[in-house]
Each structure stands twice: as C-alpha cells, then as structure tokens.
Amino acid sequence: QVQLVESGGGVVQPGRSLRLSCAASGFTFSSYAIHWVRQAPGKGLEWVSVISYDGSNEYYADSVKGRFTISRDNSKNTLYLQMNSLRAEDTAVYYCARNRYSGIGEIDYWGRGNLVTVSS
Amino acid sequence: AIQMTQSPSSLSASVGDRVTITCRASQGIKTDVAWYQQKPGKAPKLLIYAASSLQSGVPSRFSGSGSGTDFTLTISSLQPEDFATYYCLQDYIYPYTFGQGTKLEIK
C-alpha cells in the first residue's frame, strides 16, 4: 500500500534552517509528482510546494518562495524540503502528499505529517 | 493565485441530516476541484476528485457537483463518523489553494 513517512522536524530558532525528508514506498515513486502541504496549529491546510515526477519542475507558494527548496532523489524514493530563514509563522505540521498523476491533478495520498516549531 | 472561498466555516447537524458545503473559486477552474475530510490529529483523506468523482472506498453518501466557479460537497445522510473538518482544493493551476475549511459538528 502507498506509504509516505515524513521526518526531520523539531524545534528550530527563527532564522535557522531545517531539512524535512519524506520516504515513499508501495508505489513507483519516480512516476508521480509529490507535494508538501502544511497546517499551522488549529488552522487550515496550506499548499507549500510541488515537484514533478522527474524533478525538472518545481512550484512554490508565495509565502515560502525564495526560502524553501523542494527536491527529490528517485534512486532513494525520497522527497526533501530544505527550509531556510525560518519564521515563527512557518510553525506547522508538514505533510508530504502524492499527486495522482505525473502532471497536475489531485492529491490522493498523504503522510502522517511532521511538526516543525520555530521558536526562540 | 486563485482564491477558494468555502462556506460555511462551521455547521451543526444531526445524524441522518443532509448537509451541503460550498466552495467558490475566484476564477473559472473547469472541474478541477477535490474535497478532503480531516479528523483531529490525522492526515486529510480524499473524498471527491474532478468535482464529482467518488474516490475508491468512500461511501456513496458523499457526492460532489459543480463546474466553473461554484462547487458543492453533499453528505446525503450524516453518520457519526462523518463529523470532521472538510476542505476543498483547486488543482487547476499552481499554486494550489485550499478553502478555509468547514467544521462539521454534532448538534
């Protein structure tokens, strides 16, 4: 079955960096676009970024553009999110989520999420 | 970015009720809308995609409709396990955008 497992979260000071990972299994990772979606405590869902199946295209929300970088290693079935210049408002549970298709389309499977807390 | 305006933000209903949640897009997005259910502490679950297609394994009491700018999610007869928060998502163009969510509570 499709599994997505996030790791790398924790407490980090404002202005510092953190890298999240998402290990995928149960499907052909290299055939699907993959997203990051986040949810601040008690708030709604916010789309963060997506990377195409082959890593050739990336898109970002305005709120993270220039600070976050999405990448993938298809040989390791792993997705990454490099987060730099972190702010208090980046505090959230970060989900990796599979796109149903290699191109644009709905998100069909989600990981359990990983909490990132930005605080001094 | 496309705005998705979801209403109501909260809703109280009883088991057996029929409920409808709406999302309005700030521009036409064909039928590129998905609906998700989220329970506390859990990841969202896909219910409906392409505005009206039922995801495999989702009960048939869930249905979706709409095209262009106006979309609805309907639950025909509420069950106890349906009390949760629901979100719409436009997957027409990047950046994707979610509605603000509708919290469905027991009356």
Asked if B6 and B101 count as a contact pair (C-beta separation under 8 A), the reply is yes
The sign one gets for the Cα dihedral B84, B87, B88, B92 is negative
The backbone torsions φ and ψ at residue B104, rounded to the nearest 5 degrees and listed phi first, read -100, 115
* Beta-bridge partners for B24: B5, B70
pLDDT given for residue A102 in this prediction: 78
In B, which residues are within 8 Å of A100 by CB distance?
A: 49
> Taking all residues of chain B, what is their mean pLDDT, rounded to a whole number?
97
pLDDT given for residue A101 in this prediction: 84
pLDDT digits (tens, 9 = 90+) for B36-87: 999 999 999 999 999 999 999 999 999 999 999 999 999 999 999 999 999 9
Kindly tell me if the per-residue pLDDT of B22 is higher than 90: yes
Q: How far apart are CA B35 and CA B73, in angstroms?
A: 7
Confirm or reject contact between B1 and chain A (CB < 8 A). Answer: yes
pLDDT above 90 covers a percentage of chain A that reads 95
pLDDT given for residue A104 in this prediction: 86
pLDDT averaged over consecutive 10-residue blocks of chain A (120 residues)?
A: 97 98 97 97 98 96 98 98 98 97 90 98
In B, which residues are within 8 Å of A45 by CB distance?
A: 36, 38, 44, 87, 89, 98, 101
Residues 6+ apart with CB under 8 A from A25: A2, A3, A77
Kindly tell me if the per-residue pLDDT of B90 is higher than 90: yes
> Taking all residues of chain A, what is their mean pLDDT, rounded to a whole number?
97
pLDDT given for residue A103 in this prediction: 80
Minimal CA separation from B76 to chain A, in Å: 23
Kindly tell me if the per-residue pLDDT of B93 is higher than 90: yes
Minimal CA separation from A110 to chain B, in Å: 6
CA dihedral B85, A110, A99, A74 (to 10 degrees): 160
pLDDT given for residue B99 in this prediction: 98
